[in-house]
Amino acid sequence: MSKKVYTTNKGAPVTNDQASITTGKKEGYTMMEDSHLMEKLAHFGRERIPERVVHAKGAGAHGYFEVTNDLSKYTRADFLSEVGKKTEVLVRFSTVGGERGSADSARDPRGFATKFYTEEGNYDIVGNNIPIFFIRDAIKFPDFIHTQKRHPTTNLPDANMFWDFMSLTPETLHQATFLFTDRGTPQDYRHMDGFSSHTYLWYNEKEEFIWVKYHFKSTVGNETLTADEATKIGGENPNHATEDLYLAIEEGNYPQWDVYVQLMTNDEAKEYKFDPFDVTKVWYHGDYPLIPLGKLVLNRNPVNYFNEIEQAAFAPSNFVPGIGPSPDKLLQGRLFSYEDTQRHRLGPNHHQIPVNRPKNAKINTYQMDGPMNVDDTGENPYPNYYPNTFGGAEPDESFKLPEMEVQAVIDRHTRPTEDVDFVQTGEFYRRVLDDVNKDHLISNILGHICDANENIQYRQCALFYKADPDYGTRIGEGLNLDISKIKELSEMSQEERVKATLK
């Protein structure tokens, strides 16, 4: 049987589907010339209508962010300029993989998206309730999400799809472990922490810059459900978290989070023990402790859910002066994909929908017309081009990002699986989880992976074992697998392991 060549939708052969074209082997800026990446992300963003392709089931509310600690020496962002300054916000919580009718209690990461209506434009932090993510290159995102959705033939969730991808992509192990602890089933949105997950850039008026991660800590605690509790609640009230958020605000029991940041200098980033822009890993708090920044309070429910929450468009590309992106390869793809998906879901003028309009900044753009355009162009609607001599808006270079030197080798830099990819998973299992939480983790995984094929079980158990022998042994024993074979597989390279476990 001849080998089938993977092609683009135009029929051109694909040379590599595991790495975007970037400027470096570890951290790197993604190249717009990567037409395969752009095609893949653009097609993925248009696969489902009208609900969100991910984060379809959600709830949200309005509130404010208040600065409680002056960190303005690190960033020129005006909304962070002084203690006591308040900025109106909109927050949307969500499950990631399920449809709009899925249960709030499903085992799934939770979205934690915040829109800040600043005086310099809208700024979005589009994060999750877990500080890491499954993959570190945007080109893998459509494939990963497909494995979390329904099988294209049976239209059912499929354990083989889920664990086949996980076992073939070892970088997923860290977040997969988080997901199958009770952290994968938060009690509700109020009792849930949030994280930017990605690293971002802060810079000041002197064009000095630093790298930053955001943490949102619930003031009522980060509480979770056991698998049994989540199943029970899902059957009794699949909208329990949506209901809890709405009723708490109606009763004046306003949800609140303390907001912290971790800060790392560029010199430190160059010398850190692992790639600090790899979203599958956390920065150790012992190296970079949490620094207080402010508080987030939700105090107003939407009046019209569709208008204010369902039509809300969040995108990590929405920055304000003083904040910018990092060379995180997953983030680099999201900078394109989220905004592009909103153009498909809500239209090219989605930014004119009231909930998405800047509330505290004036818009001066040369973008006009298009479907559903409702902008008031004022007394002088032209010109719609730049440069011009008719008094049109001018760029202001004083707001530019700092210059940054990049050493570039342009290629699809495939990142090999390294021992460092298993270190944090092992530390999490050994040092963070107590015996009860370990028991829950093992039970939760077994309840899911038991439906996968045996060869996939062996391949995945080898990754568990590589992170921690006790971890892999307990899963293997629960599946009645040969532990000596799991150990042998764990000592192989990923390529050898895949070959040894093919049917």
Give kind and range of the element (H or E) at residue 280. none
Whether 55 is catalytic = yes
| Integer Cα distance of 175 and 198 in angstroms | 14
Cβ–Cβ < 8 Å for 214, 125: yes
Cβ–Cβ < 8 Å for 42, 32: no
Cβ–Cβ < 8 Å for 81, 72: yes
Catalytic residue (one of 128, 129, 318, 444): 128
Whether 128 is catalytic = yes
Catalytic residue (one of 55, 215, 240, 440): 55
Cβ–Cβ < 8 Å for 195, 128: yes
DSSP letters along 100-119, please? TTS-TTSSS-EEEEEEEEEB
DSSP letters along 344-400, please? HHT-TTGGGSGGGS-SSS----S---STT------S-----SSS-SSS-----GGGP
Select from 443, 399, 397, 462 the least CA-distant residue to 163. 462
Angle formed by the axes of helices 435-449 and 469-478, nearest 10°? 50
Catalytic residues: 55, 128
